[in-house]
A and B are shown apart, each in its own frame.
Chain A
Amino acid sequence: MKAVCWHGSQDVRVDTVPDPKILNPHDAILKVTSTAICGSDLHLYDGYIPTMKSGDILGHEFMGEVVETGPEVTNLKKGDRVVVPFTISCGNCFFCNRDLWSLCDNTNPNAWMSEKLYGHSPAGLFGYSHLLGGYAGGQAEYVRVPFANVGPLKVPDGLTDEQVLFLTDIFPTGYMAAENCDIQPGEVVAVWGCGPVGQFAIRSAMMLGAERVIAIDRLPERLALAAAAGAEIINYEEMDAGIALKEMTGGLGPDCCIDAVGMEAHGTGAMALYDTVMQAVRMETGRAMVLRQAIVACRKGGKISVPGVYGGFIDKMPMGAFVNKALTMRSGQTHVHKYLRPLLERIQQGDIDPSFLITHKLPLEEAPRAYKIFRDKEEDCIKVVLKPFETASSLPAAVAT
């Protein structure tokens, strides 16, 4: 089959590899009909997540049709159309039982690696480094899905792939980011990053009752999409986002601050230069300007939510501000399983149509170019969906926003 493989920093290729096989009794094999590239994939693409190996198959946002099931798969059968959470969970451990699916104890065969770095191992993830399980990902024609009784959700016929694909990650991720803010009536939510995760965080904050949402980015097309959802916007290249936030909130600062950017934040000024240098020489693994800015901007007693991914260590954490302003911070890889059904209902009820995000639909072969334009934010790229079984001629050249 064809699969998108990582071969090194900024080197992804479409390789011909063997088809996946059932390896464990609870496995299923999926024929992938749609798969997306995520901001998290860019951290791999740029080489900031350790323990990748040349030839690793990428991709953790995918859906498709069940073509084979292991002997102990009881919930699925051949032909079922499903979306698959990017987190792999057993359904039976302490964490799965408490709805903390991304912390599952039993799905990372390389748990010892994460235990060394993090003290404990989180769940295995599709296509996201050996530290997090080393599972082959779904940017491929076929993919093996472990614990198929637990993860995959059957989707109703009336909904298109484009409407439900983002249930695999970014919609639940934006939603959990907003939920982690514990938004109270009247509260103001600031969202750094208007990428896919930020866009869903903005819309989720509104669904969860935020009075105002302020969105921060520098890319006009992304800011426009945020504004279309009803957010007020700050272009951080035109003004200091920290000062603007204070001014826009009567000097209080936003009640809730969401870092939907993560470890590859851009910035201006001395701190940004410091981060770039430190990250380049691997003295720190994340450029934390957004997190720092969020902590300083947040109102006293406010809440910080971090869906943005950090892999290792960051520098110059303003711990003084965090302590003396009595802030709360919550984070995590998304507990996708918890959100699948409720968010599918939101889509069915018409509260939201996640396909608004898609700017590019491309055949799988175009993955190398897709990674590049998504990373460099060229062609107004916001979200790429790859179609393993379609050709350039069967797909529209580009989907306009």
Chain B
Amino acid sequence: MENSMSTQTPIDKQAGDLERWASIIGGGAMVLTGLQQRSLKGILTAVAGGGLVYQGTQGKSTVKQVEDAVGLDHAIRVEKTVTINRSAADLYSFWRNLSQLPTFMRHLKSVQVIDDRRSHWVANAPMGQDIEWDAVIVNDEPNRLIAWTSTDDAPVENSGFVRFQPSAGDRGTEVKVVMEYQPPGGMLGTMIAKLFGEEPEQQIGDELSRFKQLMEAGEIATTEGQPKGA
């Protein structure tokens, strides 16, 4: 960590970096490809706060800030995009009302909004246990982007953003979710792995399709509870 970029980059290069990140997050290319070794959390908080050093409310140590900025290798990252035949404003306002997220995010039990920025999340975990954490919205651009990170005491560190971008040719809105999380080791780690599924891409993909179904078709397609032969 000694030669971390965030502490050694000259101010002007840092500003250029930030612009680049802002354009990657807002652009049409794969976000994760551009991210490479950097952490999403670091980038999101940097873009939101205007500096590559995390300016969050938690008052972190310098070492922690640097870790956030340069990223850790074992983070799990997912990026998934779906086009939904509704306006960015409709989609943003449904999503921004965080307490509605469990309607299409199956692993969530509840999201309780604490204030404009903070919320409390409860997820179902295997064996009847729950996992809870607090999250902070670090960037909120109405009808365009919501970025969040978990607070320091979260059992699973996670951050991400959802972006709503009008798509070319009258096809509605491209909704992109980019997420990063750090599964802890031990029992908890195993539980988390189960929680997010063996294939996190698929899990986020399924959640996005259910969001799309709800917003386009007014219900989530299901066969649960239908008859079958013995």
Residues of A within 8 A of B (CB): 1, 3, 5, 7, 13, 15, 17-21, 23-26, 53-57, 72, 90-94, 97, 105-109, 111-112, 115, 124, 133-136, 140, 144, 146-147
* Secondary structure dominating the interface of B: loop
Question: Which listed residue (A7, A93, A115, A147) contacts B229, Cβ 8 A?
Answer: A7
Residues on B with beta carbons closer than 8 Å to the beta carbon of A109: 220-223
Q: Quick check: A23 and B227 within 8 Å, CB to CB?
A: no
19 residue pairs from A and B, CB less than 8 Å apart: A3-B227, A17-B230, A18-B227, A19-B227, A21-B225, A21-B226, A23-B223, A23-B226, A24-B219, A24-B222, A90-B213, A93-B216, A97-B85, A106-B217, A106-B221, A109-B222, A109-B223, A135-B223, A135-B226
Known contacts A1-B227, A107-B221; 13 further A-B pairs (Cβ under 8 A)? A5-B229, A17-B227, A18-B227, A26-B218, A26-B219, A90-B216, A92-B217, A93-B216, A93-B217, A94-B85, A105-B209, A106-B221, A135-B223
CB-CB under 8 A from A21, the residues of chain B are 225-226
Q: What residues of chain A lie closer than 8 Å to B12, measured between beta carbons?
A: none
A94-B171 in contact given A56-B228, A105-B212, A135-B226 (Cβ < 8 Å): yes
- Least CB distance from A378 to B in Å reads 26
Interface residues on B, range: 20 to 34
Q: Is there an interface contact between B229 and A124, defined as CB atoms closer than 8 Å?
A: no
Q: How far is the CA of A225 from the CA of B227 in the complex (A)?
A: 39
Asked if residues B221 and A57 are in contact (CB atoms below 8 Å), the reply is: no
Asked if A13 and B222 sit within 8 Å, CB to CB, the answer is: no
Main secondary structure of the interface of A (DSSP, over half): loop
B residues near A105, Cβ cutoff 8 Å: 209, 212, 216
Given contacts A13-B229, A55-B230, contact A23 B217 (CB under 8 A): no
> B206 at the A/B interface (Cβ < 8 Å)?
yes
B153 close to A (CB within 8 Å): no
Contact of B83 with A by CB under 8 A:
yes
Most chain A CB neighbours (cut-off 10 Å) among B202, B222, B226, B227: B227
| A3–B219 touching, CB < 8 Å | no
Whether a CB of chain A sits under 8 angstroms from the CB of B51 is no
Alpha-carbon gap, A57 to B228, bound state (A): 6
